[in-house]
Structure 1
Amino acid sequence: MSRNLLTCRIYGRLPDRLQCNVATPRGQGGRVRSALIVGACAFLLVTGCTDTPAAAPPVPTVTDTAPVLAPGKPGEEARTLAPSEAATAVPPQRANAADVRFMQNMIVHHRQALDMSLLAGSRAESDAVKRLAARINDVQGPEIAMMTDWLRAQGQQVPDHHAAHQGMPGMATPEQMEALKAAKGAAFDRLFVQLMTAHHQGALTMSAEVLTKGSHQRVQEIAEDISVSQSAEIRRMSAIH
């Protein structure tokens, strides 16, 4: 009984081209053998593709020499830092006691400013005072909500509406608040500007303190925003006669 020899050659990468040669005796059965050979070559072609998978493309790696873009404080541009600088340049995100105290006290501080501003709608005479009061209401209301959310996220207590405010700089006394409620027209305008100027100056003092003693970046940003906006409002009030 004669034996047939099947040989296959691979050209290039599978499955580009596969050539199979067979040595068969002449005579009957040649066509059958050719069909079987074609089937065998096709089988080798398919199985050969799965035996040797293509190499995966190299995965890029991140080196520790890449520069880091550090965001600046409000009003400042971002800076590009070396990795060694970035490790110490980013403020820590763990809040300290100064951060919590500032946020709690500023909520109480803002609430009194809103109480004073709400009186202006019906008691002020000057349009400038009315516009200023409306702006204070529009800005400080959302700031109270933002500071409340921050305290809750930190697991800290949010002061209630009857929280004591003794010792907070710039706060109007109960007697001063009663006098403001009783005033009307030009007298209201003068007292409002006087009390709100002192109130804003107190907020600047509180902001400056947390910028020195605080550690949480979000608190620092809020303190900076309060300092900038209320400094501008103090200048506006100084121009109201």
Structure 2
Amino acid sequence: MAESIIRFEKVNKWYGNNFHVLRDIDLNVARGEKIVICGPSGSGKSTLIRCINRLEEHQEGRLVVDGVELSDDVKAVDEVRKKVGMVFQQFNLFPHLTVLDNLTLSPMWVGKLPRKEAVEKAMQQLERVRIADQAGKYPLQLSGGQQQRVAIARALCLTPKIMLFDEPTSALDPEMIKEVLDVMIELADQGITMLCVTHEMGFAKAVADCVIFMDEGQIVESSPPHEFFNNPKSERSRDFLSKILGH
């Protein structure tokens, strides 16, 4: 069995006193595993992955990322964030900086990398997402699909062990979705651990080792893709799939 890189043990989270957004989450993610998380709006999907790099704090249970337990310890949080890249729904690029400067900013300031090395690494990642020819442009000069690929390249510049994707195609026009998913499929083939919140079920079938279905803050089902799509265990999963797949 592959070594665990992320481990949730009875993790609970509330917003305020009443909204129990994560309920007793138990989850082991193996090193190099590709997980797709799906479910209805408000089911806790985004909150779950945002806990992994402490963008959200859990109140109960244990969450261990690459051997480091996440807590209020700032050093532990910093250590985990150096290992985890994240791509959001919105691209979150600095509009006043060129594509290249967006990519070199964090390696130079956080990673203390000399500019020459940061530029070399940035260009390597832009090549990786097939957008190196756009390095001198500003984000608003690019299409949405190109901006999202820049955001992926920026996350890769810190050489993360884990990549988190929070509905990375939901803000894109339909014709731009494929170019972003193609890049993510290539990343999946390169052994990086990935957790992706998405409703792109074709991507889940092509890439995922495991599909997790969440509802009301709980993991209702966790199965290999062929089992999840062909023989979902729960009535709630079957209902969700019938709506999202248009049957």
Common fold: TM-score over 0.5:
no
* Relative contact order higher in (CA < 8 Å, ≥ 6 apart): 2
**Greater Rg by CA:** 1
**TM-score, normalising length from structure 1?**
0.26
**TM-score, normalising length from structure 2?**
0.26
Structure showing the higher helix proportion among its residues: 1
Structure showing the higher strand proportion among its residues: 2
